[in-house]
Amino acid sequence: MAVDLQALYPKLIHLMLDTVFVVDRDNRIAFVSDACQTLLGYRADELTGTLITDYIHPEDLAISRASIVRVMNGQAHVDFRNRYVRKDGAVVHILWAAFWSEDVGARIGVARDVTALRAAEDELRFLAHHDPLTKLTNRSLFNDRLESALRAAHRRQGTLALLFVDMNDFKDINDVYGHAMGDRVLCMAAQRLHRCVRESDTVARMGGDEFTVLLTDIQSADDVAWKIEQITAAMAEPLGAEFGGIKMPSCSIGMAFYPVDGEDADTLLSHADGDMYRIKRHGSRAG
């Protein structure tokens, strides 16, 4: 028995998990498969006859119009991504494969929901440059920012300061209360450090209980001294009741200035690290 493929094709299209769009020269939707309801929240009959551009995220309209022109000029676009706004107001990330059909005088596109994929990609990008526990900048990104800040300071003949922050006797918290509680204390310390800096500055976790702070556009040594006092006071604030009476460890803070204490990243980091250990041994900056 012969299969009537012509009659079967429409049913197959509506079975597809991806959504098929047919859009005319004026950007009006001439046909959309049933999967559109899962993708955008609209039934096919709600979309048919409306402008497809009405559903594109406003921030993606320009790049989407450029893609439309490309497709209508005969260049298929099989890896285009943009965002659409669903009926419920949520944003969906879409991967498109589209081409222009002279036979029907319309462009035909297949849309795939890649919102979950985009979220996973964003998470991987974030983790590549941030500490997974505290969400602070990690060592790799901090070093990049330090190098960039040094180049900028050299060009402008400016200054910057580098702080090396170490939590005193933090090991005792892990030993007595466990690593889970230690992680909570580290996260609180990270929040307090981040709260003390400007948006243009950078706080990083270098590992364990060691943090660095990059202060750019420093006007004077007094500015840095005030910043150290601010960080010391913030770190000394009592922990909440949810910490069960644990005290936040005090911290030792070493510092280095560009260009007085060094003109390259390694020298500055070494100087700040050495200054921190000197303070940890003697208990004060004057030691």
Mind telling me the catalytic residues?
Answer: 209
The rounded distance, in Å, linking the Cα atoms of 231 and 251 is: 9
List the one residue out of 231, 230, 201, 196 whose CA is nearest residue 217: 201
Helix (H) or strand (E) holding 189: helix 179-195
Tokens of 54: 């009405």
Cis peptide before 259 (omega within 30 of 0): yes
Tokens of 241: 């009741």
* Two structure tokens written together for 249: 């460890």
Rounded Cα distance between 143 and 159, Å, is: 17
The SS3 call for residue 259 is coil
Strand partners, 212: 164, 204
**The pair of three-digit structure tokens given for residue 44, joined into one six-digit string:** 């096919």
Contact 185, 243 (CB under 8 A): yes
Residue 19: enclosing H or E segment and its boundaries?
strand 19-24
Strands 202-207 and 210-216: antiparallel
